[in-house]
């Protein structure tokens, strides 16, 4: 299987993947860690996670014939230019096209190649779409280690990567697992404003700004709103401070380059955004996951943290929407701005 393994890796690089690694499709100790994480309630309101916990035990529960897992990683990093997103931060991964479709197409191309090379091969691919412990298998296949911030970190390109997997019935040659190089560093733990990294390698999603601004559909807890700062969608603080991201290579893919129509938009403009405008701007962008109501909730909180008293009139105008969720956050934001005069 040495030749087909080499051919698969060469094809993966040709398609555009920055990293590719292979491991056996076996149960990992990480499954027990995942179970404990769920039991502690650290998944918050992401109810889809505990529903399929058993499926994550082994790749063989997803494809009985699976012998290997092919892990692929794609660099999406583009630096934030000075002045961009000053009024409202959108996470680096969500500044242009949604990666799911892009990466799924790339994985499909690689899966098709495998089956053309070996007609008896069975394959199944995932890109953040199936119940597979993708970080654990990325580490096992040598892509990178799981850092204290729970992101996968590669020595050469850091942690600004998307992950995808192909389950394969061929007994390909595995790579050695990635070694952990976090050492005694705790920069990611210390920088988190909400203290969401409750211990090294343990993230309480309920406190995480990414969870609060993306996954949480309800009211953002009052005690966490100030610490959201200017984050509209997601948060990159624990990655930005990581020493392994000190000089990350820029992605060659323009599809991840920050779009001009969102990078310099002011809070006044975001507060004027109606539902139709939201759908138009974020039609093929990850931000659409929050839906308009969730995004406006985030905008209101960021406005409250801005100390820009000129926004009070804009905020008061949003009461006309007669929305209970937004009104509760409007009360908080206006009160915070008025008390800072």
Element (H, E) at 202: strand 202-203
> Three-state DSSP class for 74?
strand
Q: Is the distance from CB of 58 to CB of 167 less than 8 angstroms?
A: no
CB atoms within 10 A of CB 268: 14
Contact yes or no for 206/172 (Cβ under 8 A): no
Question: Rounded CA gap, 128 and 163, in Å?
Answer: 7
Q: What does the DSSP 8-state code read for residue 302?
A: H
Residues 30, 128, 272, 308: which is the catalytic one?
A: 128
Q: What angle is formed at CA 116 by the lines to CA 115 and CA 121, rounded to 5 degrees?
A: 25
Residues facing 168 on adjacent strands = 68, 123
The encoded tokens of residue 25 equal: 């499709």
Nearby residues of 227 by Cβ (< 8 Å), 6 or more positions away: 193, 194, 209
* Residue 16: closest CA among 130, 169, 162: 162
Has 190 been annotated as catalytic? no
How far apart are alpha carbons 138 and 292 in whole angstroms? 34
C-alpha 181, offset from chain centre: 22
Q: Looking at beta carbons, which pairs linking 315-324 to residues 24 or more positions away fall under 8 Å?
A: 315/271, 318/271, 323/293
Residues annotated as part of the active site: 128
């Amino acid at each position: 299987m040495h030749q087909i393994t080499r051919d698969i890796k060469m094809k993966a690089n040709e398609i555009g993947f920055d990293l590719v690694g292979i491991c056996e499709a076996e149960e990992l100790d990480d499954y027990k860690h995942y179970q404990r994480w769920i039991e502690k309630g650290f998944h918050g309101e992401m109810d889809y996670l505990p529903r399929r916990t058993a499926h994550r035990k082994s790749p063989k529960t997803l494809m009985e014939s699976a012998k290997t897992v092919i892990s692929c990683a794609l660099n999406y990093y583009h630096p934030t230019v000075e002045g961009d997103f000053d009024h409202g931060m959108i996470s680096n991964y969500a500044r242009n096209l949604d990666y799911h479709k892009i990466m799924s197409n790339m994985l499909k191309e690689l899966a098709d190649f495998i089956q053309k090379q070996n007609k008896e091969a069975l394959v199944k691919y995932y890109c953040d779409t199936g119940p597979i412990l993708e970080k654990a298998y990325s580490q096992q296949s040598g892509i990178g280690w799981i850092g204290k911030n729970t992101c996968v970190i590669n020595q050469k390109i850091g942690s600004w990567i998307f992950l995808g997997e192909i389950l394969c019935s061929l007994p390909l040659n595995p790579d050695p697992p990635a070694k952990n190089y976090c050492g005694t560093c705790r920069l990611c733990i210390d920088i988190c404003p909400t203290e969401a990294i409750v211990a090294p390698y343990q993230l309480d999603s309920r406190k995480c700004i990414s969870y609060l601004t993306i996954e949480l559909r309800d009211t953002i807890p009052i005690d966490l709103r100030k610490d959201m700062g200017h984050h509209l969608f997601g948060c990159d603080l624990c990655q930005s401070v990581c020493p392994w991201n000190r000089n990350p290579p820029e992605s060659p893919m323009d599809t991840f380059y920050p779009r001009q129509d969102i990078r310099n938009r002011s809070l006044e403009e975001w507060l004027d955004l109606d539902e139709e405008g939201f759908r138009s701007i974020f039609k093929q962008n990850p931000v659409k996951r929050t839906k308009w109501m969730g995004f406006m909730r985030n905008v209101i909180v960021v406005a409250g943290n801005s100390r820009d008293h000129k926004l009070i009139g804009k905020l008061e105008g949003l009461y006309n929407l007669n929305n209970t969720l937004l009104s509760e956050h409007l009360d908080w934001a206006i009160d915070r701005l008025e008390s800072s005069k």
